[in-house]
Amino acid sequence: MGKSVYSLVLMDEVIEEIDKEAGRLGLSRSNLINSILAQHVSFTTPQQRTQNAFSEISKIIGAMKYLSVASEGDSIISVRSPISYKYNPTVRYSFAVLDLTSNPFGEIKAAFRTQSREFIYYVNIFFKMWHNLENSLAGDAFSGGVEAEISDGKYIRKLKLPKNIRAAEAEIVGRVVAEYIKLLDWSIKLYFKNLGNENQVFVNIENEYLKFASNNTFIV
């Protein structure tokens, strides 16, 4: 969707209140005015679609005691979760929206901040396994398979619409992203609790991923 510059003549007092509200919401003046006008004419803006998706993620993730969720600006929401390991690391999941009308429309990132090379070694093994699992179980749904990047302690998953889906509904995106993060977090925790028995762990994770896929025909 394009944007253009328009000249409006508004009362100074109105702009003063708009700026106060924009500051409270963490929005720019233009974005807030655009949102107010869109609501008045019953038009859903890309920003509103993003916020609808974020609201769904917050509702689902917020019910999990061991996960904390926070918005980071207009287009990123993040989740933090502790991992039971000797270095007490924390994994940060983030969902960044590019445009819910484009393809790819966003990305999910899982990242650890640690200096332990041993820990990163195990994390990278897990992420390679996870990517292979995703491609084998969900890759056929996407043109070019599941697109992801793996680097030291990070997994970045591009979010593309499946070939049979024409548009991404915000609430559905939010729900599936939240369930995906929950599954990934559960899988990472299971993996680190059972180091040395990875083969059986991967079988268990595969079974849970299959359940996730069957319950979410819209697979991100």
Coil, strand, or helix at residue 149? strand
E runs forming strands in 57-195: 68-71, 76-82, 90-97, 106-112, 148-151, 154-159
User: From the first residue on, what is the mean pLDDT of each consecutive set of 10 residues in the chain (220 residues)?
Assistant: 74 90 81 78 66 80 77 80 85 83 82 88 93 84 80 89 68 87 94 89 92 76
At 185 the pLDDT is: 94
CB 108 within 8 A of CB 118: no
Domain ranges of the chain: 9-43, 46-215
Tokens for 41, please give them.
Answer: 């004419």
| Other CB atoms within 10 A of residue 14 CB | 10
At 42 the pLDDT is: 61
